[in-house]
Amino acid sequence: MTEQVKPVQPYTTLSNGITMPLLGLGVYDMYNAEAEQAVSDALEIGYRLVDTASLYRNEKEVGNAIRQSGINRNEIFVTTKVGNGDHGFDNTLRAFDVSMKKLNIDYIDLYLVHWPIKGKRKETWLALEKLYKEKRVRAAGVANYLIPFLNELESYAAIQPVLDQVELSPWCFNKELFDYCRKRKIQLQSYSPITRGKKLNDPRIIQLAKKYNRTAAQIVLRWNIEQGISTIPKSSSKIRLQENFDVINFSIAAEDVAFMNTFNENFRICDDPMLFL
């Protein structure tokens, strides 16, 4: 009998030298037992990156699932974020302690500024730098930072963010930001990568799905991986968790990736971060 070889999932090395899986689970809009179950299922399937936030009100359940999984803590990459109401230096440090308590795990891998809140960005980032310097987080990053926010950050930051988590899909593809981040070694991570299903009926994606004998969601997720973009699709269905994880098993030809790069129409699920400038 031939033994099935388990495909190896792709990892990236962040600019401070730590490694992170490219594919992860986003846990927005799942609560209580549902959230705990989804994280447990995901870890069982093979996911090793979980993206939560204080805003999602499920840090406790994420922590429970991680502790109960029996998987070594150092094999799982955990991201959480400072909420919009907690910005400012002292507030951020306090919010971090609350997240740590809820997660109840030894450390957080990546702490992100959830949104670039006007007037508070500098103090909030300086608090993240302090957490990083004190080794309370393994890495610090941002979310929803488009180029003007990243430029501003660069002007006062002693430590640059290792990662920027932004809304990103073929229909919301900011090529300038992609190039900017690549140049500065800031890892891009896509949220709402499958547009919460809203664009999965695009005939061009359906055509590609047929070509590769994959689902539309898989084509879109694989498009991220092909370009070194980390992606964190959310699902609380075990079947779709498996479907999304299976994108580690195939690849898309460069010309199809390039074709999908032409789909951009600034289609957004969430607010345009420029409203925060």
Ligand X SMILES: NC(=O)c1ccc[n+]([C@@H]2O[C@H](COP(=O)([O-])OP(=O)(O)OC[C@H]3O[C@@H](n4cnc5c(N)ncnc54)[C@H](OP(=O)(O)O)[C@@H]3O)[C@@H](O)[C@H]2O)c1
Choice between 64 and 195, CB closer to ligand X: 195
CB of 50 to ligand X, least distance (A): 9
State in angstroms the smallest separation of the CB of 240 from ligand X: 4
- Alpha-carbon gap, residue 277 to 261, rounded angstroms: 27
CB contact set of 76 (below 8 Å; sequence gap of 6+) = 43, 48, 49, 50, 66, 69
CB of 247 to ligand X, least distance (A): 9
- Residue 95 vs 143, nearer CB to ligand X: 143
In angstroms, what is the minimal distance from the CB of 53 to ligand X?
Answer: 7
Between 133 and 277, CB nearer to ligand X: 277
Burial-class residue 50 by CB neighbours within 10 Å (0-12, 13-18, 19+). Answer: buried
CA distance 239 to 252: 22
Q: How far is the CB of 273 from ligand X (least distance, A)?
A: 9
**Active-site residue, from 47, 56, 132, 145:** 56
Q: Which is nearer to ligand X, 44 or 243 (CB)?
A: 243
* Segment near ligand X (CB under 6 A); pick from 69-77, 123-131, 231-239, 252-260: 231-239
- Report, in this order, helix, strand and coil percent for the chain, each rounded to 5: 45, 15, 35
Span near ligand X by CB under 6 A; candidates 59-67, 89-97, 129-137, 190-198: 190-198
Catalytic residue check, 107: no
Name which position in 39, 128, 244, 247 contacts ligand X (CB under 6 A).
244
* Distance set, CA 56 to CA 62, 63, 80, 126, 167 (Å): 11, 13, 10, 24, 17
> Residue 142's closest CA among 134, 133, 151?
151
Q: Is 54 in the site for ligand X (CB under 6 A)?
A: no
Give the nearer residue to ligand X in terms of CB position, either 64 or 169.
169
Q: Tell me if 63 sits within 8 A of 103, measured CB to CB.
A: yes
Joined together, the tokens standing for residue 226 give 């092909």
Instruction: Restricting to residues 117-176, name those near ligand X by CB under 6 A.
Output: 143-144, 165
Alpha-carbon distance values, 55 to 26, 30, 40, 76, 82 (Å): 13, 11, 20, 21, 8
Q: Which residues are catalytic?
A: 56
Binding site for ligand X (CB under 6 A): 26-28, 51, 114, 143-144, 165, 191-197, 215, 217, 232-237, 240, 243-244, 269-270
